[in-house]
Chains A and B, each alone.
Chain A
Amino acid sequence: MKRLADFLVEGSLFTITSVSMLAVIFIVLFIAKDALPFFKIRGISEFFTSVRWYPSSDTPEFGALAIIFGSMIVTILSTLMAVPLAIFSAVSLSDILPFSVRQAVKPIIEIIAAIPSVAYGFFALVIFAPLLQQKGGHLLGIAVWLMGIPISLVLTYILGGTLADRIFKTSSTVHRTAVMIILEGIFIFGLYRIYAVFSNISISSGANAFNVSVILAIMALPTIVSMSEDALQAVGRELREGSYALGATRAETLWKVIIPAAKSGIVAAIILGVMRAIGETMVVWMASGNAAQIPDPWYNIFEPIRTLTATIAGDMGEADHVTGSARYHVLFAMAFFLLVFSFISNLVSEWFVVRSKKKWGT
Chain B
Amino acid sequence: MKLQTRRVLDRSFSGMGYFSVFLLSASLIIVLVPIFVRGIGAYIFKGTVEFRRLNYEKFNRGNKETIEKEMAAVQKFRKPVYDMLAAFEKQIDNEEILNSHEYVRDLEEVKELVRELLGPAPGEPEAVMMRDRYGRTRWDKARKTLFHILYMEKWDHSNADEMGKKVMAPRVDQFKGTSFEKFFPYMEENLENMLRPRLTFYWRFLIDASFDAHLFGGIGAEVLGTIYLVLGTMIFAIPMGVVAAVYLAEFSKETGKIVSLMRVFISTLAGVPSIVFGLFGLAFFINTVKVSNSKSVLAGSLTLALLVLPTIIRAAEEAIRTVPRTYKEAALSLGASKMRTVLTVILPAALPGILTGIVISMGRAAGETAPIIFTAAVSVGRPLNLIETLTQPTPALPWNIYNLVTEHEAVEQIRHVQFGMVFTLVLLVLLLNLAAIILRARISKKLRG
Stretch from A39-47, A85-93, A190-198 forming part of the interface with B: A85-93
Interface residues of A in 97-129 (CB under 8 A from B): 97, 101, 105, 107-112, 114-123, 125-127
CB distance from A124 to the nearest CB of B (A): 9
B269, CB-defined interface residue at 8 Å: yes
CA–CA, A345 to B270, complex, Å? 12
User: Is there contact, CB below 8 Å, between B276 and A339?
Assistant: yes
CA–CA, A84 to B268, complex, Å? 26
B309, CB-defined interface residue at 8 Å: yes
Closest chain B residue to A6, Cβ basis: B338
Contacts A16-B240, A20-B262 given; does A335 touch B27 at CB 8 Å: no
**Interface bits B384-408 vs A (CB < 8 Å: 1, else 0):** 0000000000000011011001100
A50, CB-defined interface residue at 8 Å: no
Stretch from B42-50, B189-197, B328-336, B425-433 forming part of the interface with A: B425-433
User: Is there contact, CB below 8 Å, between B6 and A118?
Assistant: no
CA–CA, A218 to B12, complex, Å? 24
Contacts A97-B21, A118-B367 given; does A17 touch B247 at CB 8 Å: yes
Residues on B with C-beta less than 8 A from A127 are 34
CA–CA, A249 to B12, complex, Å? 12
CB distance from B106 to the nearest CB of A (A): 30
CB distance from B11 to the nearest CB of A (A): 8
CA–CA, A23 to B304, complex, Å? 12
Contacts A23-B306, A118-B369, A122-B422 given; does A338 touch B276 at CB 8 Å: yes
User: Is there contact, CB below 8 Å, between B429 and A115?
Assistant: yes
User: Is there contact, CB below 8 Å, between B267 and A350?
Assistant: yes
CB distance from B252 to the nearest CB of A (A): 8
Closest chain A residue to B274, Cβ basis: A281
Residues on A with C-beta less than 8 A from B6 are 249, 252
Interface residues of B in 203-242 (CB under 8 A from A): 239-240
Interface residues of B in 396-424 (CB under 8 A from A): 398-399, 401-402, 405-406, 415, 418, 422
User: Is there contact, CB below 8 Å, between A116 and B368?
Assistant: yes
Residues on B with C-beta less than 8 A from A19 are 240, 244, 309
Contacts A13-B246, A85-B23, A112-B28 given; does A125 touch B405 at CB 8 Å: yes
Residues on A with C-beta less than 8 A from B244 are 16-17, 19-20
Residues on B with C-beta less than 8 A from A110 are 433, 437
Residues on B with C-beta less than 8 A from A91 are 17
Residue from B306, B374, B426, B433 in contact with A320 in the complex, judged by beta carbons closer than 8 Å = B374
User: Is there contact, CB below 8 Å, between A119 and B310?
Assistant: no
User: Is there contact, CB below 8 Å, between B425 and A111?
Assistant: no
**Interface bits B359-370 vs A (CB < 8 Å: 1, else 0):** 010011011111
Residues on A with C-beta less than 8 A from B425 are 116, 118-119
CA–CA, A84 to B418, complex, Å? 34
Residues on B with C-beta less than 8 A from A275 are 271, 273
Residues on B with C-beta less than 8 A from A254 are 13
Residues on A with C-beta less than 8 A from B18 are 92, 96-97
Contacts A114-B433, A346-B268 given; does A88 touch B19 at CB 8 Å: yes
Majority SS at the chain A contact face: helix
Stretch from A26-34, A51-59, A62-70, A298-306 forming part of the interface with B: A26-34
Residues on B with C-beta less than 8 A from A93 are 21
Interface range, B side: 35 or more
B113, CB-defined interface residue at 8 Å: no
User: What number of A residues sit within 8 Å (CB to CB) of B?
Assistant: 92
Interface residues of A in 266-323 (CB under 8 A from B): 272, 275, 278-282, 285-286, 309, 312-313, 316-317, 320, 323
Contacts A20-B269, A108-B25, A221-B24 given; does A282 touch B370 at CB 8 Å: yes
User: Is there contact, CB below 8 Å, between B265 and A24?
Assistant: yes
CB distance from B284 to the nearest CB of A (A): 5
Looking at B24, B306, B429, the one whose CB has the most chain A CB atoms below 10 A away is B24
User: Is there contact, CB below 8 Å, between A26 and B280?
Assistant: yes
CA–CA, A68 to B406, complex, Å? 23
User: Is there contact, CB below 8 Å, between A30 and B280?
Assistant: yes
Interface residues of A in 306-355 (CB under 8 A from B): 309, 312-313, 316-317, 320, 323, 331-332, 335, 338-339, 342-343, 345-347, 350
CA–CA, A97 to B401, complex, Å? 38
CA–CA, A312 to B21, complex, Å? 35
CA–CA, A316 to B372, complex, Å? 12
Residues on B with C-beta less than 8 A from A339 are 272-273, 276
B255, CB-defined interface residue at 8 Å: no
A157, CB-defined interface residue at 8 Å: yes
Looking at A97, A150, A279, A280, the one whose CB has the most chain B CB atoms below 10 A away is A279
B14, CB-defined interface residue at 8 Å: yes
User: Is there contact, CB below 8 Å, between A21 and B262?
Assistant: yes
User: Is there contact, CB below 8 Å, between B17 and A89?
Assistant: yes
CA–CA, A282 to B273, complex, Å? 12
Residue from B269, B282, B366 in contact with A24 in the complex, judged by beta carbons closer than 8 Å = B269
CA–CA, A275 to B270, complex, Å? 11
Contacts A88-B20, A93-B21 given; does A16 touch B275 at CB 8 Å: no
Residues on B with C-beta less than 8 A from A335 are 273, 275-276, 279
Interface residues of B in 16-43 (CB under 8 A from A): 16-21, 23-25, 27-28, 31-32, 34-35
CA–CA, A31 to B288, complex, Å? 12
Closest chain B residue to A26, Cβ basis: B284
CB distance from B63 to the nearest CB of A (A): 38
User: Is there contact, CB below 8 Å, between A313 and B426?
Assistant: no
User: Is there contact, CB below 8 Å, between A154 and B9?
Assistant: yes
A216, CB-defined interface residue at 8 Å: no
CB distance from B358 to the nearest CB of A (A): 14
CA–CA, A249 to B1, complex, Å? 12
CB distance from A168 to the nearest CB of B (A): 16
User: Is there contact, CB below 8 Å, between B24 and A85?
Assistant: yes
Residues on A with C-beta less than 8 A from B367 are 114-119
A250, CB-defined interface residue at 8 Å: yes
B447, CB-defined interface residue at 8 Å: no
- By Cβ-Cβ distance, the 8 closest A-B pairs, closest first, are A116-B367, A279-B273, A92-B17, A251-B13, A88-B20, A249-B10, A281-B370, A17-B244
A-B contact pairs, 6 of them (CB 8 A): A10-B251, A26-B284, A30-B283, A101-B21, A125-B406, A313-B370
Could you list 13 further interchain pairs (A-B, Cβ under 8 angstroms) beyond the known A117-B367, A280-B273?
Answer: A9-B339, A19-B244, A111-B430, A115-B429, A116-B367, A118-B402, A119-B426, A126-B415, A150-B12, A150-B15, A154-B12, A251-B13, A252-B9
Hey, which bits of chain A sit against chain B, CB under 8 A?
Answer: 6, 9-10, 13-14, 16-21, 23-24, 26-27, 30-31, 33-34, 84-86, 88-89, 91-93, 96-97, 101, 105, 107-112, 114-123, 125-127, 150, 154, 157-158, 161-162, 218, 221, 225, 249-252, 254-255, 272, 275, 278-282, 285-286, 309, 312-313, 316-317, 320, 323, 331-332, 335, 338-339, 342-343, 345-347, 350
